Amino acid sequence: MNKEDYMGKIIDFRLRPPTAPYKGFFPEGIVRFANFRFGVDTPESYVKSLESESGEADQAALELLYQEIDRAGIRVGLMNGRHSHILGLCCHVSDEYLSELSKASGGKLLGLAGVNGDVPFTETAAGLDRAVKELGLKGLCIEPGLFQEPMYADDERLMPLYEKCDELEVPVLMMTGPFAGPDLTYTDPVRFQHVAQTFPDLPLVLGHGAYPYVNEAIAAAMKSSAIGSGGIFLSPDVYMFSAGGDQFVKGIEWLPDRFLFGSAYPFGNCEQHLEMTFKLPLSEEAMSRYLYENAEDLLDL
């Protein structure tokens, strides 16, 4: 497989840039541990961001990030707004900030609106028109298990958010995985399956692929693809290279229209992650769908 055929086309569905609003959620020790665990080097751009909290340092780190994603062949990286709490850490990334950063990046970065669990969800839903139509954000990111009052993805209180995204015809990125809530029940694919059944035309992207429920997530994606134009998509990102991640590889080949590439930067090194990806036993059709074609369809790029 010739990786040159994919250069400049790849869409990274989970990339958190090395700027101050994100760094409180990604302290150095945790990032270096994650990079070690997933077998990659800590990105140089993230290391640069540790030098200072100043805007100047952020810009220097961003310039390195742009160089890294260019070398990796990434066309667009998708940032997510977030207002989340985990392990005593918190992160607040506003929609306005994402819009400004996207414009400053010259289109290298695009944003998904975030959800603050401390604000009425009906209010957030009402603001999505502005986020999408005026701020240029491409959808919504919901991290319900990381709210100060954790909740499951199929909680009735979240329904106005799904309904609004369905109306706007934009995707929803859901936080899943081992750290998606107080325990693993918050990443159980059945919770997301309930949402997909209620809104069959709404694309639901499971960031981190609902790991460790790999087979269950693949089955949920398969079933949802049969009942509507939306349904469950999986973006396993760094968990492709974890224990049991080989099942994701089989899933991509089996359901090529249901998977999306993500690096999970700074937990993933974009260049090394893609080098590892190109070594996976995938057909050209499955690789193209995974690396950019599915994301192009969801994001209308």
Q: What's residue 31's pLDDT?
A: 76
pLDDT for res 172:
98
End-to-end, the C-alpha distance of the chain in Å comes to 25
The pTM (predicted TM-score) of the whole model is 0.93
pLDDT at 86: 64
Please name every residue paired with 12 in a beta bridge, in sequence order, or none if there are none. 77
Structure tokens at 108: 């290298």
Tokens encoding 189: 């694919």
One-letter amino acid of 30 = I
pLDDT the model gives residue 208: 96
Q: Using one digit for the tens of pLDDT, what is the confidence trace for 224-266?
A: 988 878 999 999 999 999 999 999 999 999 999 999 999 999 9
pLDDT at residue number 1: 62
C-alpha torsion sign, points 169, 186, 89, 58: negative
Residue 137 confidence (pLDDT): 97
The parts of the chain modelled with pLDDT lower than 50 are: none
Beta bridge partners of 142: 174
| Domain 3-299 architecture | Alpha-Beta Barrel (3.20)
Q: How far apart are CA 53 and CA 67, in angstroms?
A: 21
